[in-house]
Structure 1
Amino acid sequence: MTAPNIATLDALSADEAGLLAMLLTRVSAFTRANATKEAYYEGEQRVKQLGIAIPATLADKIATVVGWSGTAVDVLEERLDFLGWVETGAKYDLGSIFNANDLDVDSGLGHLDALICGTAFVAVGTGDNGEPSPLITVESPKNMTGLRDARTRRLTAAASRFRDEGKDFDNGATLYLKNETIRVARSSEGAAWAVVNRDQHKLGRVPVAQLVNRPRSSRMTGRSEISHSVRGYTNAAVRTLLGMEVNREFYSAPQRYLLNAAEDQFDKGDGSVVTGFEAIMSRMLAVPFDEDNPEAKPEVGQFAQSQPGPYLDQVRGLAQLLAAECAIPPTYLGFATDQAASADAIRAMEARLVKRAERRQAAFGKAWLEVARLALLVRDGKVPDGFADGVSVKWRDAATPTRSAAADEATKLVAAEVLPPDSSVTYDRIGLTPREQEQVEADKRRARSRAILGGIAGAADVATANPRVAEAASRRVPAEGN
């Protein structure tokens, strides 16, 4: 790609315009699919009805929602707590970058988007006045896309779009290239893009990292956790619950019948006819007997009331299918089952879910390492040679051990001299947050200082009480006696 010359800095070159158009078209191509996945996550999807047992006009009046798709995403995202970068050897002060950009919270935004849509993006740039620099922002796949190089596992170009409040079209966009970032705008839909700013950073790599969920060699764009199977089971559950709701409306009142009763027995004194509801509530309880026709004795009966059991059994079966698809315990879907008898049984139930979370940590961790590299490039202009061996990604344990089990494990590892008692790894094992670890270290330093001061004060008291000790100490010779 040819770089623009000085005369064209205020306009996109032909190559840049073509690349931007291609990338924005790609964003638009995924808009409908991403909107559908988001609707399932939020429980706002419209489920098609067969129209056989339930009329369409009736189905439209009942808003039946099943939040299984959101559950399938949330139970996995809740186990992906990004805690920052671990620096061994050389120190790069990545912790301050992590804290300044609130990545303990904002990282979850990227993880959630990646699990819903299959991918998400993290952009790194220079912050303006009052902003952290480097500035790290999580970008939605609904507004951004990029071209990925399978060999370098990095993006070769990326683009994002946005619209100002009150606009009904995308009036702004950003093109990310290896050596510059170009912001463009347009006054109307279909108009040519005009360059607003060119940041010629000369980083040599695109300042955007991509979070990819479940990529394959044939599908590097990733895959959503809200798969076709998840959507199918969710749709079936919605239709089943809708049938149960309609059944409740029709059959919540007992269905009764009356034999050998004349029509005039249901007339009021003023000649009007008793309504069905009035007959059920009162009149049928006092139907007169025709003495002239003893064979026509009125007989009242009641049909068995319809129960929701068959519907709930069907929903329970669908929940088990969804649990197998998403590798989650059925209890997460709202159905009580046999409770696990021990901690080992609980871990066995969650084994597949924990493994999935660990796989996501490995995949997303590569993207967060790239974010760290980009942050150093923006701040220092280079990535140190020892970065790859000296920096790793830190995650919270994806499993759910109890506090006592974690403490017992850490105690045994320290006793076996596998871990030192004051190591950050040991602190991680027992679940202390980075801030709690810093506080523990600060408390230990204060305790050591107090101990030293206490020892000095004790020695001074002894010397004061025994002049011979004080004299010997001043002469630096051993004291006699005592």
Structure 2
Amino acid sequence: MENNLDKLKQRLQVHIPRVQMRYKRYESKYHPADVGFVVPPQIRGQYAAVLGWCGKAVDSLADRLVFRGFKDDNFGLQDIFNLNSPDIFFDSAILSALIASCCFIYIRKDEEGASALEVIEADKATGFIDPITGLLKEGYAMLATDELSRPTLEAHFLPDRTDYYVNGKFSQSIKNPAGVPLLVPVIYRPDAVRPFGRSRISRSAEYLQDHAKRTLERADITSEFYSFPQKYVVGLSQDAEPMDKWKATISSMLQFTKDEDGDSPKLGQFSQPSMSPFTEQLRTLASAFAGETGLTLDDLGFITENPSSAEAIKASHETLRITARKAQRCFGTAFLNVGYVARCLEDEFPYQRNQFYLTKPTWYPVFEPDMATLSGIGDAAIKINQAIPQYFNKDNLSELTGLDHE
């Protein structure tokens, strides 16, 4: 097991830089190296642009994923989550998993013997996953770090116990009655190739945001020449006094006299640069980013037209709706695993995972229905119930409308 702990530590170190970079992109604090060769570095640094498209891609999906609870909750899993600030816990876990592709839930007992749930980011935990159940076979987490991000409290999660290390030295071992490591992954879009999922901030989204950022910087620099077009004077005498450049730029009237030969200078102005190419390029990049993330140009700040109804909004966000439904299935299974392990720990009994097959996670609708949609649902429910009595009841209608029947 000690060898596995070293492997887990090495495995985590490989993924830390990538995870932290994605968090910086989400917070708009990541500044990639500029590949341009025209703008001098000292000028480029003065016009550094900040763009939050990656953060918008994450938030637009995370804000629509609202966990409702468990249906047929025979083991009282919802009670465990209700004691762990569910409004904060679910949102924090979903947001962290969307940014880094996964996060981890650390489960322990509090002073009163109830299960305490803590969200741990992907750059502080890892493990060996069971692809069938989605649970870990063995896990490792940095539970506390110092100001230099060095671990001060570490935990090695095993099926029968949890070993704790303080400043790299073994501290204590606590028995685990659950029979499953007390570190549960919450994964976004896992597959056979990437069992720990994929981030909402994809590499193509990163490229498009970086390209748009460079476009904004070049547009900002060009706007200086757009505001103050360059002028020139030819034919000045060599004996003429040099002009003050700032005065020549902002003055509305310049006076020139003829020289001794009777010649006068000629004034000119370079053609004014256009901002249209930058606007068109930025809009093209926004269209590509919207297609990559399931957003619309309106979501990215390019006003096209106002949808006339909630149905029109749904139609324009069809890709986002499908993505959200997929995310609900992924996170629903993960939250069920968290509840299962927490219940085993709290009851100090290793329940079988298949005993929880009747419990189903439920979510609020991705798009809140308006009055027209509610009216259409009501008419359809009446007609279907006439053909199949009691097909629609307060439970499935509540799932369709998002309104709690209580």
Would the TM-score normalized by the shorter structure come out above 0.5? yes
The answer on whether the counterparts of 1:327 and 1:352 sit within 8 Å (CA) in structure 2 is yes
Equivalence for 1:392: 360
Equivalence for 1:285: 254
Q: Secondary structure at the match of 1:64?
A: coil
Residue type of the alignment partner of 1:149: D
Q: Distance in 2 between matches of 1:338 and 1:125?
A: 51
Equivalence for 2:217: 242
The answer on whether the counterparts of 2:228 and 2:249 sit within 8 Å (CA) in structure 1 is no
The answer on whether the counterparts of 1:144 and 1:158 sit within 8 Å (CA) in structure 2 is yes
Equivalence for 1:460: none
Q: Distance in 2 between matches of 1:292 and 1:218?
A: 83
Equivalence for 1:19: 4
Segment drifting more, 47-56 vs 161-170: 161-170
Provide, for residues 385-418 of structure 1, a one-character-per-residue CA deviation record: whole Å limited to 9, x for no partner: 98434311011112x2433134214422553447
Q: CA RMSD in A?
A: 2.7
Name which of 96, 105, 126 aligns with 2:109: 126
The answer on whether the counterparts of 1:173 and 1:183 sit within 8 Å (CA) in structure 2 is yes
Equivalent runs, 1:418-437 vs 2, <5 Å? 423-432=394-403, 437=405
The answer on whether the counterparts of 1:252 and 1:306 sit within 8 Å (CA) in structure 2 is no
The answer on whether the counterparts of 1:119 and 1:210 sit within 8 Å (CA) in structure 2 is yes
Residue 156 of structure 2 corresponds to residue 175 of structure 1: yes
Q: What is the deviation of 1:36?
A: 1.5
Q: Distance in 2 between matches of 1:84 and 1:283?
A: 70
Residue type of the alignment partner of 2:131: A
Provide, for residues 418-449 of structure 1, a one-character-per-residue CA deviation record: whole Å limited to 9, x for no partner: 7699824434443335xxx5xxx4xxxxxxxx
Number of aligned positions between the proteins: 401
The 4+ residue runs of structure 1 with deviation greater than 4 A are 164-168, 289-292, 384-387, 418-422
Q: Distance in 2 between matches of 1:334 and 1:283?
A: 38
Q: Which has the larger radius of gyration?
A: 1
Name which of 318, 333, 342 aligns with 1:351: 318
Q: What is the deviation of 1:181?
A: 1.6
Q: Secondary structure at the match of 1:173?
A: strand
Equivalence for 1:79: 64
Q: Distance in 2 between matches of 1:274 and 1:171?
A: 66
Equivalent runs, 1:433-444 vs 2, <5 Å? 437=405, 441=406
Q: CA, structure 1 residues 235+166, in 2 after alignment: closer, same or farther (shift >3 Å)?
A: closer
Q: Distance in 2 between matches of 1:375 and 1:330?
A: 43
Q: CA, structure 1 residues 93+276, in 2 after alignment: closer, same or farther (shift >3 Å)?
A: same
Equivalence for 1:10: none
Name which of 285, 293, 296 aligns with 1:326: 293
Equivalence for 1:379: 346
Equivalent runs, 1:86-235 vs 2, <5 Å? 86-87=71-72, 91-129=74-112, 133-165=114-146, 169-186=150-167, 193-196=169-172, 198-235=173-210
Q: Secondary structure at the match of 1:374?
A: helix
The answer on whether the counterparts of 1:406 and 1:429 sit within 8 Å (CA) in structure 2 is no
Percent identity over the alignment is: 26
Higher relative contact order structure (alpha carbons within 8 Å, sequence separation ≥ 6): 2
The TM-score normalised by the length of structure 2 is 0.89
Larger relative helix fraction? 1
Q: CA, structure 1 residues 291+134, in 2 after alignment: closer, same or farther (shift >3 Å)?
A: same
Q: CA, structure 1 residues 385+238, in 2 after alignment: closer, same or farther (shift >3 Å)?
A: closer
Q: Secondary structure at the match of 1:161?
A: strand
Equivalence for 2:46: 61
The answer on whether the counterparts of 2:310 and 2:370 sit within 8 Å (CA) in structure 1 is no
Segment drifting more, 199-208 vs 66-75: 199-208
Provide, for residues 72-110 of structure 1, a one-character-per-residue CA deviation record: whole Å limited to 9, x for no partner: 21111112111221226xx43333322211122211211
Q: Secondary structure at the match of 1:348?
A: helix
Q: Secondary structure at the match of 1:331?
A: coil
Equivalence for 2:327: 360
Q: What is the deviation of 1:262?
A: 3.5
Give unmatched runs, 5+ long, in structure 1: 1-14, 268-272, 442-482
Q: CA, structure 1 residues 151+62, in 2 after alignment: closer, same or farther (shift >3 Å)?
A: same
Q: Distance in 2 between matches of 1:46 and 1:281?
A: 35
The answer on whether the counterparts of 1:179 and 1:200 sit within 8 Å (CA) in structure 2 is yes
Residue type of the alignment partner of 1:100: L
Q: Secondary structure at the match of 2:298?
A: helix
Q: Distance in 2 between matches of 1:200 and 1:63?
A: 53
Q: CA, structure 1 residues 411+419, in 2 after alignment: closer, same or farther (shift >3 Å)?
A: farther
Provide, for residues 290-349 of structure 1, a one-character-per-residue CA deviation record: whole Å limited to 9, x for no partner: 6973xx454434333223221111111111111111121121111122444554432221
Q: Distance in 1 between matches of 2:352 and 2:11?
A: 35
The answer on whether the counterparts of 1:84 and 1:98 sit within 8 Å (CA) in structure 2 is no
Q: What is the deviation of 1:240?
A: 1.1
Q: Distance in 2 between matches of 1:386 and 1:412?
A: 39
The TM-score normalised by the length of structure 1 is 0.76
